[in-house]
Amino acid sequence: MRTFNNIVAEVFKISDAEIHDGLSSKDIPEWDSMNYLLFVAELEKEFDLSFSMDEVMTTQCLGDIRGIIEARGKKHG
């Protein structure tokens, strides 16, 4: 099973050492609209959950997304 950080690193092409909850699209060059949707889809598949359109549109940083996963009781590694 892949972890949240594994998926972040894979989709956005950054090292695990660079990943922290404050990262946003302003900090990650690969975080464009297509990669963000791919990221959301990978999280949904890996953690067996669905994000609402509102959640997808209002999250600002990795911590927001991690918080949604945790609020649903999913272990994300």
The 3-class SS string of the chain reads: CCCHHHHHHHHHCCCHHHCCCCCCCCCCCCCCHHHHHHHHHHHHHHHCCCCCHHHHHHCCCHHHHHHHHHHCCCCCC
pLDDT in tens, 4-62: 999 999 999 999 999 999 999 999 999 999 999 999 999 999 999 999 999 999 999 99
Look at residue 74 and tell me whether its pLDDT is greater than 80.
Answer: no
Q: Is the pLDDT of residue 77 over 70?
A: no
Query: What is the tally of structural domains in the chain?
Result: 1
Residue 76 located in a structural domain: no
Q: Mean per-residue pLDDT for 55-70? A: 95
**46 found inside a domain:** yes
pLDDT at 44 (0 to 100): 96
Look at residue 53 and tell me if it is in a domain: yes
Domain that holds residue 19: 4-71
CATH number at residue 48: 1.10.1200.10
In a domain, 14, yes or no: yes
